[in-house]
Amino acid sequence: MDDFYTEQLIKKQTGMKDLVIRALLVALTIVSVFAIFMFSFGLLVTVILIIVDVIMFRSMNVEYEYLFVNGDLDIDKIMNKSKRKKLLSVSLDQLELLAPVGAVELMQYKKAKTYDYTSGAGNADQYALIVSNGGEIKQIIFEPNDTIIEGFFMKAPRKVIRK
């Protein structure tokens, strides 16, 4: 039995965009509290904004799970450690290339549609996974650990470029 299984969990860092959205939501909620005293519908607006705040804050707490089993890679998005959404499922026959971000071999795929499933931390080792699906070329940027890279290398050594 030569099954190869590994999984990795990556916590997405809070970026500037998320901080701005959170600040705007909190500011709108505070303004709506003052609107309670001026308008009769101010309480309704405040309650709605508090609900929106809770939903948005929970959806901004994101982790990515990379699951590699026998040449198949699944990437899931986990929001607030409770809700899971499958983002990507790639089999080995769809793989064109796996290389570190910035590698020369990736230049020919620079027009491919790019998906970013990284933590957003600048110091992490990022890899580009080039896949073809129904004639469409996609570039997936992610942060695999050495075990996932070695798993791809064991299954398709000519398609993997390691650091």
Instruction: Please enumerate in sequence order all residues whose Cβ is within 8 A of that of 50, keeping only pairs 6 or more positions apart, or say none.
Output: 29
Mean pLDDT of the region 141-150: 93
CA distances to 68, 117, 142, 156, 162 from 9, rounded to whole Å, are 12, 11, 11, 24, 21
Dihedral angle, C-alpha 7, 13, 17, 18, nearest 10 °: 90
pLDDT at 2: 64
Q: What is the DSSP letter of 121?
A: -
Cα 102 from chain centre: 19
pLDDT at 162: 87
